[in-house]
């Protein structure tokens, strides 16, 4: 969740949604994202809306946050009902950040209980929290499991100390197998998040990180190319020449290695940057994003989407807490997407999925591009002949280019 909010129309103080948000809602899944905006240390590459303890005060304290977030949960239930949306149980819940597990496990459980109390939850629903390896204990993981969490995503990032140092990560590599075992003992599914392309990371470094992560037999692996965002510490270090810049060819080599090793370990790709041991272990919450389902985002700077209406909360935790204390919506702005924009976003997201995109959903110009994409080895020919656009490995490396080819100018 980038820290810079988009431009948009003003959001009403009561948060009520326009009538179109309810159209077809009964057929769409409904999920909840809960943003926990606290970190022990600000990582040099991170552009997310997060804060360390020294940057906060007043109504933004970590101690008060769970109650504040829970009050937005209740507001959300009231807004959805008041906007004419049907009652739908939660299909997924995802706690992200920041570092959600900087809060006591009991606080995360409190927010989850409030959400389940307001909406109910589907049987077998996925409930995930992100965590840093140094922010959990065996006891806290058991509390999360007993509260209804089913899955934990550890920010491993690398197994190489000098790479972790550049990223400003606070854990040691030896901590990761320990917390993975604790999570398994608690009965939680385990995902490991990795980052490749860090300045100074060699291909051998990346291979070591991959092999180390896979030796822990995770249920799910995410591997993301490092993106250097303006305004971050890392961007300034690169600009000053203190660390080398990002190399696209290096990223491509490391992605190919990731796909090779992760696939050999028995996990299959289901989205360009994500692999799961079985289809059931794919992150259902993220799939809901990519497929355009509905979700409400709780927390400062959090984004929501319901029926083609998208909105975002005020960015700073103090302003967020203040609005909720006054009984008004924390939304800072919103936009209602037209059909063309929704279709464009659908193509951009679905083309990244292993399930692919229906060729028939493209306009005539987009369909004419398919033959060229096959000839260039960017999409699977057999799937294309059956009417689905599915990226090859080469196509995954050039996914953005494929999108540009099939979308109208």
Where in the chain are the domains? Answer: 19-290, 339-409
pLDDT in tens, the chain (409 residues): 445 566 688 899 999 999 999 999 999 999 999 999 998 765 555 556 667 665 665 445 789 999 999 999 999 999 999 999 999 999 999 999 989 999 999 999 999 999 999 999 999 999 999 999 999 999 999 999 999 999 999 999 999 999 999 888 878 999 999 999 999 999 999 999 999 999 999 999 999 999 999 999 999 999 999 876 555 666 566 567 666 666 779 999 999 999 999 999 999 999 999 999 999 999 999 999 999 999 999 999 999 999 999 999 999 999 999 999 999 999 999 999 999 999 999 999 999 999 999 999 999 999 999 999 999 999 999 999 999 999 999 999 999 999 999 998 7
Q: Copy the structure tokens of residue 132.
A: 């840093």
Question: Does residue 119 contact residue 87 with C-beta atoms inside 8 Å?
Answer: yes
Q: How many CA atoms lie within 13 A of 358 on its CB side?
A: 5
Domain 339-409 has CATH 1.10.10: yes
pTM to 2 decimals? 0.93
Relative orientation angle of helices 105-119 and 62-82, to the nearest 10 degrees: 10
Beta strands in 142-293 (DSSP E): 151-157, 189-196, 220-225, 268-271, 274-276
Class of domain 19-290: alpha beta
| 19-290 and 339-409: identical CATH topology | no
């Amino acid at each position: 969740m980038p820290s810079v909010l988009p431009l948009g129309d003003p959001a009403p103080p009561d948060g009520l949604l326009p009538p179109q948000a309810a159209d077809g809602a009964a057929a769409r899944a409904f999920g909840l994202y809960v943003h926990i905006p606290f970190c022990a240390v600000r990582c040099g590459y991170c552009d997310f809306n997060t804060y360390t303890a020294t940057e906060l005060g007043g109504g933004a304290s970590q101690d008060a946050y769970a109650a504040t977030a829970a009050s937005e949960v209740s507001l959300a239930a009231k807004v959805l009902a008041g906007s004419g949306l049907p009652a739908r149980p939660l299909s997924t819940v995802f706690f992200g950040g920041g570092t959600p597990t900087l809060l006591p496990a009991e606080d995360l459980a409190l927010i989850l209980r409030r959400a389940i109390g307001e909406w109910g939850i589907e049987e077998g629903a996925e409930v995930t929290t992100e965590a840093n390896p140094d922010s959990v204990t065996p006891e806290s993981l058991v509390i999360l499991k007993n509260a209804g969490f089913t899955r934990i995503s550890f920010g491993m990032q690398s197994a190489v100390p000098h790479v972790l140092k550049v990223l400003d990560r606070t854990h040691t590599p030896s901590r990761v197998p320990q917390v993975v075992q604790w999570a398994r003992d608690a009965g939680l599914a385990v995902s490991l998040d990795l980052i490749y392309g860090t300045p100074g990371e060699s291909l051998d470094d990346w291979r070591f990180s991959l092999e180390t992560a896979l030796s822990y037999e995770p249920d799910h692996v995410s591997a993301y190319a490092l993106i250097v965002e303006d305004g971050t510490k890392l961007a300034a270090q690169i600009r000053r020449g203190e660390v080398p810049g990002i190399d696209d060819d290096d990223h491509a080599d490391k992605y190919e290695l990731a796909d090779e090793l992760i696939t050999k370990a028995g996990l299959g790709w289901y989205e360009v940057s994500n692999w799961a041991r079985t289809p059931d272990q794919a992150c259902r919450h993220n799939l809901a994003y990519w497929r355009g389902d509905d979700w409400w985002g709780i927390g400062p700077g959090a984004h929501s989407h319901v029926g083609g209406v998208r909105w975002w909360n005020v960015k700073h935790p103090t302003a967020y807490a203040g609005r909720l204390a006054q009984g008004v919506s924390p939304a800072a702005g919103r936009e209602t997407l037209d059909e063309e924009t929704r279709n464009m976003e659908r193509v951009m997201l679905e083309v990244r999925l292993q399930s692919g995109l229906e060729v028939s959903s493209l306009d005539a110009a987009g369909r004419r591009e398919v033959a060229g994409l096959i000839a260039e080895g960017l999409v699977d020919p057999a799937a294309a002949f059956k009417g689905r656009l599915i990226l090859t490995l080469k196509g995954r490396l050039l996914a953005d280019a494929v999108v540009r080819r099939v979308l109208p100018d």
